[in-house]
Chain A
Amino acid sequence: MPDTRKKLLELDHVRVQFGKKRRPFVAVKDVSFDIYQGETFGLVGESGSGKTTIGRAIIRANPVAAGEIRFDGRRISGKLSAQEDRQVTRDIQMIFQDPMSSLNERAKVGYIVAEGLYAPGHHLTEDQRREKVAKALSDVGLLPEFASRFPHEFSGGQRQRIGIARALIMEPRFIVADEPISALDMSIRAQVLNLLSALQKERGLTYLFIAHDLSVVRFICDRIAVIHKGDIVELAESEQLFAHPLHPYTRALLSAIPQPDPIAERSKKLLVYDPACHDYTQDKPVWCEIEPGHFVLGNQKELDGYRESLAKAH
């Protein structure tokens, strides 16, 4: 079924590493997944597991050490011509994770939001630009007059929305949204999620959505990939993942979701994930499509167990 859909972004055995060539630290080991045109693809997992690193590799801010990233069928990792580079920068925008440190402190908000529009290839008058800034700010629930203020004069959530306005104003085709709503209150969170969905419907936007709030991810994402220490351990359609999580890390993660109800929250049972539960000395793990559209990392023995539990559940 998914085969009829168009792949917009493809990650093909991508590895990203930091530090010295001789003793590199591999942050992303060997990651492959496809994101279809018009879908919202969720990436969840431990802090430090490589989510932001993947996002930055997609916008070409982190070089790829092995493998390849393709956008619209064309390679965008590695060396590109200036022309191609400009096109990618325009088509793919990232909403950065940390609203406290990702904004230029010395620039006014109006400039920060409009910055991308000053790049070559845009021909706008000052008035047109100002109008676009005002529109982008009000889209994310901020007052247009905020354009003349500096970032430090805003609360955490207000700064996060400045970061969102800055990405939206470029009218990209693909957005890497790295924790775009973590600093927002529930209501503005709902407003921003509604905005992202509306833009998706209107303009056919595609998102890679990175977040720690799994209730939000479940609501907004079509498919979800779970990453642990640089490896994707499970990938499935959202409801499938929540209904039948297989990998023990996924199960631990879902068990820890905070419940906004004191009684449910205080009686929830936490599962703990111990990586030592895998015995991969002989029987090596493989990435396996265990049922249509549902992938999991495991060795033969584990996969047999997963199949059994799925059979029981259906």
Chain B
Amino acid sequence: MEKNDSVLLSIQDLNFKFTLRGQVLHAIRGISLDVYKGESLAIVGESGSGKSVLVKTLMGLNDQNGYIESGKILYNGQDLATFTTDKQWQAIRGREIAMVLQDPMTSLNPLKTIGWQIKEALELHQNLHGAAADAAVCELLAEVGIPDPQRRAKQYPHEFSGGMRQRVVIAIAMACRPKILICDEPTTALDVTIQAQILGLIKQMQKKYDLTTIYITHDLGVVANVADRIAVMYAGDIVEVGSCAEVFYDPRHPYTWALLSSLPQLGVKGEPLYSIEGTPPNLFHEVRGDAFAPRNPQALKIDFVKRPPMFAVSPTHSARTWLLDPRAPKVEPPEHIRVLREKGRALKLTGEGTANA
């Protein structure tokens, strides 16, 4: 883990809304999050909780009907939340912050050769032209593990397999030499052998170019593999954040408990898997109290009334749940979580007072 303590990007009390036929959807509800230089941060959480919307605000890529209502996004002495024009964003997109999406086909132009598309990025961002650009294209393709780059550069996206296309998208992203690489479900569409290769490739790029990476994924196995830190989202909010070991072996928010208890690995064949009852809140209505309370069988009275603040568990670990209030009654986590906690303590990864992982 090559994390150092300098904050590269700081999201402060961000509120993001969509207007939809006269109604307002509160997609990001007051999120604060620091991203450290060189770290690998994973964002996990409920589907529809705002993970993609959150990272898209960092690049000004949300749909037209969305807007930042309040909050700051500090990067390099600028507040990205105040950006209004495409021209302002051009200086950020690709150059400073790049994105790799789940479906590589949506990021590639089907009508242009792979070589042309990488070259375009090189011309734009590194001011390389002609033979020098051609050579750089082949170098990049080789670097992301595409054999026979000279021939491959002349081919079109449909002639590449899904895994190879994802490598090309990474090559294009790297051509811009970004500081932050955001990967929104980069390997969901790939089989596990290719997935392992792509994750290895991203890690290798991270080392080589001193990249900061933000992963969004539902695959907790991927998270376990890549993350230095984990942020857990529910209903437009970050409900827990901590080091990889802290969130896996000593989770504190009931939603994180439920998430980790739903794994198919814990299931018994023929019996239902553990799953959370009910549906996530409708973000068209303002949420009252702890957004997860209606689905939490152990919810406290106060959970329905007042939104909990972020309580610190350790200098690196905090969670937004009233359970961490000193006055709260003792609530035992589900069995699986207790097993994980013991494992973490036995290995001295987590425990009372220890913050390091």
Contacts and interface: CB of A to CB of B under 8 A. Distances in A.
A191 B191 contact: no
Contacts of A290: none
A309 interface: no
A185 to B, nearest CB: 5
Q: 5 nearest interchain CB pairs?
A: A258-B221, A157-B47, A260-B220, A190-B275, A190-B273
A311 interface: no
Given A141-B279, A253-B191, A262-B245, A270 B263 contact: no
B224 A186 contact: no
B189 A186 contact: no
A257 interface: yes
Given A186-B259, A258-B222, A149 B272 contact: no
Nearest to A256: B192
14 contacts: A45-B191, A47-B161, A47-B162, A47-B163, A48-B163, A185-B259, A187-B275, A188-B46, A197-B272, A253-B193, A260-B265, A262-B225, A270-B196, A272-B193
A253 B195 CA distance: 11
Contacts of B265: 215, 219, 260
Interface in B192-230: 192-196, 218-225, 227
Interface of A: 44-49, 98, 100-101, 138, 141-143, 145, 149, 152-158, 179, 182-191, 193-194, 197-198, 212-216, 218-220, 252-253, 256-266, 270, 272-273
A252 B194 CA distance: 11
A214 B244 CA distance: 23
Contact of B195 (A155, A156, A212, A216): A212
Contacts of A158: 47-48
Contacts of A152: 63
Interface in B256-274: 258-260, 262-265, 267, 269, 272-274
B193 A193 contact: no
A156 B52 contact: yes
Nearest to B25: A153
B136 interface: no
A48 B188 contact: no
Contacts of A198: 272
A182 B189 contact: yes
Contacts of B134: none
B161 A191 contact: no
A189 B218 CA distance: 10
B317 to A, nearest CB: 15
Interface of B: 18, 20, 44-49, 52, 63, 102-103, 106, 161-163, 185, 188-196, 218-225, 227, 244-245, 248, 258-260, 262-265, 267, 269, 272-276, 279, 282, 347
Contacts of A154: 48
A100 B279 CA distance: 22
A190 B262 contact: yes
A46 B264 contact: no
B347 A215 contact: no
Contact of A258 (B49, B106, B161, B224): B224
B248 A262 contact: yes
Nearest to A259: B221
A256 B273 contact: no
Contact of B221 (A100, A142, A194, A265): A265
Contacts of B163: 47-48
A28 B162 CA distance: 17
A258 B276 contact: no
Interface centre among B20, B267, B274 (most CB of A within 10 A): B267
Nearest to A214: B192
Contacts of B196: 256, 258, 270
Contacts of B260: 186, 260
A159 to B, nearest CB: 10
B162 A100 contact: no
Given A213-B219, A262-B248, A149 B20 contact: yes
Contact of B52 (A155, A189, A218, A270): A155
B279 A142 contact: yes
Contacts of B274: 190
B47 A215 contact: no
B47 A258 contact: no
A156 B47 contact: yes
Given A143-B279, A215-B264, A153 B192 contact: no
A308 to B, nearest CB: 26
A265 B225 contact: yes
A252 B192 CA distance: 9
- Of B18, B47, B63, B274, the most chain A CB neighbours within 10 A belong to B47
A273 B224 contact: no
Contacts of A100: 102-103, 106
